[in-house]
Structure 1
Amino acid sequence: MEGKMKAAVFKDIENIVVEERDIPECPRDGMLVKVVACGICGGDVRNYHNGLKDGIKNQIMGHEIAGVVVETDNTVTRFKPGDRVALAPDVSCGQCWYCKRGLVNLCLSHRMLGTHFPGGYAQYIALPSDVMHRGFIEKIPDGMSFDHAAFAETASAVIACQKYNDVSLGDTVVIIGDGPVGCLHIEVARARGAKKVIMVGMDKLELAESFGADYLFKNTDQEKVKASVLELTDGIGADIVICAVPSVAVQEQALEMVRKRGRVVIYGGVAKTKQTAQLNSNLIHYNEIMVLGAFSYPATGLADALSAIHSGKIHAEKYISAHVPLEGVVGGMELVSSGKALKVIIDPWLK
């Protein structure tokens, strides 16, 4: 397919430029997709300020993608032009120790759309053979909007996290972080049968109110928050505390609010310059607390999230606060950072 397209290109730290580029050719064993919606992820904001993994520059960012197939190589049989598709970023190698055991999110050669491959901050995206065979591409269910399909990537990791940590009937769950991920943890915990859901946040608590937490606390006084959680749990602490904000201080705080033999989940990476937490090892030891990480999702992750949104267990419409054109990418990131929006969607065709 010949012609020109617009793309928002990450040149360097805090430098994104909208450029006119050639529409990429349909790759061998791959396909070309017209991007209709691409979400701005908290990870994108962090990368904008700190740089892409491996020092990559001059790259098209964006990995929460929904669009329409416009061209396929003649070897591709799973998709055809006109199919509506949702994309998630992870691309595994299929050969390492983890991939052979189905743990594709832990792949030793893990790559991502928007970092190692051009992403969705553009009007078109080419999906090469590696992405077709070892990436995440799913057909969008009938009746689902492109916006909601793009949001499914965000939901995928939340669903996988709570499944892995067995959030279940009767649990008391504390979620620290009031962004879209924190709000998703509320909805997923409810769907899995949690008895009591407590959110601890800062600047988006007003936006988070509608998601059904039993209690919301502003995290300006950590001792007061800790006392409130203990009071609500008869002095025992929560069954599980999910750190849904990239802060080592929050990870340290979580240990003070979880019960003996409870779980603290570190969800989401922090900036490379702030990646060392000082966890109270005596609390972990004497209280037999489990501290776990949660990253990405299994091979069924994107399909699971699309199903949860399609069935109404997750209400994607409540998260999407604004749409911006490619020229508004940085402004969209500022909306997210300032707490004025939960999820901002880029419409590459918006003028």
Structure 2
Amino acid sequence: MKAIEIIKPGEIAIVERPIPECKENEVLIKVKAAGICGSDAHIYHGKNAFATYPRVVGHEFAGEIVKVGSQVKNLQVGDGVAVDPVSSCGHCYACRIGRHNVCKSLSVIGVHRDGGYREYVAVDAGSAHKLPKNISWEIAAMIEPYTIAAQVMDRGRLTADDTVLICGAGPIGLILLQAVKMTGARVAIMDIIDTRLNMAKEMAADLVINSKTSDMITEMMAFTNNEGASLILEATGNINVLETCIQKIAAPAGRVVVLGFSTELVKIPQVAIMSKELEIIGTRLNNNKFPQVIEWFAKGLVQPEKILTHTFKFEEVEKAFDFMDKNPADVCKIGLTF
């Protein structure tokens, strides 16, 4: 079979690999479509501290089951599935309290082990989630990034009464916007790229802020009647944005959910957190959110087709990465078809 392998940072090739064996508790999937995530690009460019090389990347993918292990009962050949890339040990503290997505021995397909950018993948049957017939392969490959939004909503305890600020209108920011709007909450979103903010307007953002040309603090205070945002979702990874949100924009008793993962030190006075009883909440990957998001897709509650802006054949993956790097204002999400 053909597989897309990042041999070392900056070097990618399509190589021949044997079709994986299907163990008794696994299913063998013929990959139909995959998404390119920012983290895939980081691995390609050598900017992901968790990745090792050579590596077949890809943690957003969907396909058709072509073989079923002897112990698998709830899936069969011909089923379409989306794959949860998160695996855990099952016995560390995080796993024992039901938060396996931050397992001490966390393993993610496409980062710590070979992923979905290949023609066939064998995965544990528990990671394969059956798809309804009304979801195309290209759209099904986008289920994983929407599970990030479901996790964020859970971690941030989002309600319809919240006034939300989303920092960053890239793919994840726009996916967050769709998920938040689904609940009826008022939401503002900031970025520095007008084309992304225009997409946010089309997705019914109540306020868009270009922080290069407008003062984000002034805009948010006007938007919230000087109360501040009750829930902030920080998806830029920019420490200056995070510092501003905590010190200047978060409402008393507010929550700040941190998606970005810069390794730079953040400077925040303790009093900024203590005086408002702020909650600073981390979020990572997803914790069993695939069934919930598949239901969103099946019922048309979100619009993944608005996020998927470009599609390439998997043989054109190098061209796709290059296009993504050179056209940040035009690209939201790129899909690969197999």
Tell me the TM-score normalised to structure 2 length: 0.92
Point out where structure 1 has 5 or more consecutive residues left out of the alignment.
Answer: none
Shift of 1:31: 2.2
Q: Which amino acid is 2:125 matched to?
A: M
Identity %: 27
Determine the C-alpha separation between the residues in 2 that align with 1:14 and 1:280: 40
Q: Does 1:99 find its partner at 2:95?
A: yes
Instruction: Select the residue among 295, 311, 317 that pairs with 2:299.
Output: 311
Q: Does 1:162 find its partner at 2:149?
A: no
Instruction: Select the residue among 60, 66, 69 that pairs with 2:65.
Output: 69
Q: Is the 8 A contact 2:156 2:256 kept in 1?
A: no
Q: Does 1:108 find its partner at 2:104?
A: yes
Q: Is the 8 A contact 2:237 2:260 kept in 1?
A: yes
Determine the C-alpha separation between the residues in 2 that align with 1:295 and 1:83: 29
More moved, 284-293 vs 236-245: 284-293
Q: 1:88 to 1:330 in 2, by over 3 A?
A: farther
Corresponding residue number in structure 2 for 1:31? 27
Q: Which amino acid is 1:341 matched to?
A: V
Corresponding residue number in structure 2 for 1:265? 257
Determine the C-alpha separation between the residues in 2 that align with 1:336 and 1:279: 34
Instruction: Select the residue among 241, 249, 254 that pairs with 1:250.
Output: 241
Q: Does 1:117 find its partner at 2:113?
A: yes
Corresponding residue number in structure 2 for 1:215? 207
Aligned pairs for 1:167-186 within 5 A: 167-186=158-177
Determine the C-alpha separation between the residues in 2 that align with 1:201 and 1:218: 5
Determine the C-alpha separation between the residues in 1 that align with 2:268 and 2:41: 26
Q: Does 1:347 find its partner at 2:331?
A: no
Aligned pairs for 1:284-295 within 5 A: 284-295=273-284
Q: Is the 8 A contact 2:20 2:122 kept in 1?
A: yes
Determine the C-alpha separation between the residues in 2 that align with 1:30 and 1:167: 36
Determine the C-alpha separation between the residues in 2 that align with 1:241 and 1:331: 35
Shift of 1:20: 2.3
Q: Which amino acid is 2:101 matched to?
A: N
Determine the C-alpha separation between the residues in 2 that align with 1:87 and 1:49: 25
More moved, 48-57 vs 29-38: 48-57
Q: Does 1:188 find its partner at 2:179?
A: yes
More moved, 85-94 vs 242-251: 242-251
Q: 1:45 to 1:97 in 2, by over 3 A?
A: same
Q: Is the 8 A contact 1:18 1:326 kept in 2?
A: no
Alpha-carbon RMSD: 1.8
For each residue in 1:229-255, what CA deviation from the matched residue of structure 2 results, as whole angstroms up to 9, or x when unmatched?
111212121111111222222211212
Q: Is the 8 A contact 2:155 2:257 kept in 1?
A: no
Corresponding residue number in structure 2 for 1:142? 133
Determine the C-alpha separation between the residues in 2 that align with 1:35 and 1:19: 16
For each residue in 1:106-156, what CA deviation from the matched residue of structure 2 results, as whole angstroms up to 9, or x when unmatched?
2111101112332111111122xxx334xx320011211112211111001
Determine the C-alpha separation between the residues in 1 that align with 2:184 and 2:157: 11
Q: Is the 8 A contact 1:239 1:258 kept in 2?
A: yes
Question: How many aligned residue pairs are there?
Answer: 333
Q: Does 1:327 find its partner at 2:327?
A: no
Q: Which amino acid is 1:264 matched to?
A: V
Determine the C-alpha separation between the residues in 1 that align with 2:217 and 2:18: 55
Shift of 1:28: 4.1
Q: 1:174 to 1:334 in 2, by over 3 A?
A: farther
Q: Is the 8 A contact 1:325 1:347 kept in 2?
A: yes
Q: 1:57 to 1:96 in 2, by over 3 A?
A: same
